[in-house]
Homo-oligomer: A and B are copies of this chain.
């Protein structure tokens, strides 16, 4: 250090010595806590850290992955919130704890968390585990980089493009664009923002003030993210026109036309149709061909929210459910749902080849996206994002795909359908959502009594409470569109067996037979 000449020039000052031989700060200016010796000592003990991590890995393997997928074990070990808070000893204190105590904490967190990998977790759209995806997730966490430049994420910049391109090819596009987002709602927000920008490029600089009142169209069964997007992006929830659906929950294209006329008659400018492939509750698929006809005729952006249903594109047998998807402008697809990559993995896919994504979102930060880099700067894809730092979401999907191949993924989708259809309820569900009421003995034959609906509405919550407290399985319920509380069973997980399906029905009956 002592040989360093005076050639360091700090940006906002004149020439100076830096780390020159003699200290140039007073004791007061420098930190009183550290001398050179302390700064040379190791602050972080890698050996100890890695030992802890290895032990924690063993706990995860045993508690979450072995016990957590064992049908003889509980799906959840229910505790009342105040009891759980006390058990977990959540308070953060001045001093650290022993490794032994910390491992106990890892174990407790695992023990009292819901086992979403359990074959009898039918509660949400992200059940199940894939070990190759999980390995990809651990590797992603350990590498801890941000998906924005080739410089800091060389492997992942190339990999993201490959995975997106594969997903696009399943949609039916040979070219296009896209990006992984933190969840389907954000992916849907991207679509709405891109549509607005394509129709009114001045919105980015001038804001919504420069625009007429806009109108968005989505079915009554569409996901609530349409409303969140309209609120967040300054479009307003009252400017989302809800289109009627048929009995199965699919958008009625005639009503779409009527709603478009209605919006126009109110002085609003239609710009965005949000179709759904796989609605959240019923699993319905909107008729994409008819919707595409309307969008093409009127020059509207057609978005397909296939966050849930997109995986049917992997299946030769079932991809007809999304016939016409290639005519859309954008598609949301969440591999963290039926494809089992784990949370989060959501892609917004675009047909656009004009770099709309970048033009719409770029802010050209010079500290990140330098223009005089020594490699092709089109590889610095981060400015397509509304985020700055962005998690790497492609690796888990890529590694899983490498492990099972497109055929393996197809098999999973077909298997989920087969479970539902082996001896199916009537009408046969379009997808793998099975919605039903359990009619307990006391209500059977009572359909015409005036309080029937009211009494029926209390059945699912009571069964759910018993189920949670006993921990035998998990399934969701909801009221919906004038119908009182009913169960919605979701069948995804490749480890679900026919026995689990049988257990499910028996268990609902066991829990509700005295109601």
Contact = CB atoms under 8 A, between A and B. Distances in A.
B231 A40 contact: no
Contacts of A54: 57, 61
Identical copies in the complex: 2
A4 B509 contact: yes
Interface stretch (A89-97, A257-265, A294-302): A89-97
Residue among A48, A135, A414 with max Cβ neighbours from chain B (10 Å): A135
A363 interface: yes
A413 to B, nearest CB: 10
Contacts of A366: 478-480
Given A143-B110, A365-B224, A389-B184, A427 B10 contact: yes
Interface string A8-35: 1111110011111001110001111110
Contact of A439 (B7, B85, B336): B7
B146 A126 contact: yes
A290 interface: no
B19 A502 contact: yes
Interface string A166-198: 100000000000000011111001000100000
Contacts of A146: 124, 126, 343
Contact of A415 (B34, B50, B154, B317): B34
B30 A418 contact: yes
A4 B507 CA distance: 11
A273 to B, nearest CB: 18
B426 A16 contact: yes
Interface residues of A toward B: which range?
35 or more
Given A435-B12, A495-B43, A36 B422 contact: yes
A451 interface: no
A114 B24 contact: no
Contacts of A408: 95-96
B505 A18 contact: yes
Contact of A401 (B92, B117, B387): B92
B418 A498 contact: no
A39 B422 contact: yes
Given A56-B138, A142-B64, A207-B213, A81 B42 contact: no
Interface in A233-279: 233-239, 247-249
Contacts of A334: 389
Given A208-B208, A405-B94, A234 B203 contact: yes
A185 B33 CA distance: 34
Given A388-B184, A404-B96, A370 B477 contact: yes
Interface in A353-407: 360-361, 363-368, 370, 372-376, 379, 386-391, 395, 398-399, 401-407
A79 interface: yes
A291 B414 CA distance: 60
A444 interface: yes
A203 B361 CA distance: 22
Contacts of A502: 1, 19
A496 to B, nearest CB: 8
Given A92-B162, A109-B139, A151-B468, 11 more contacts: A10-B427, A19-B502, A29-B421, A41-B497, A44-B495, A54-B57, A96-B403, A109-B399, A141-B342, A208-B235, A280-B365
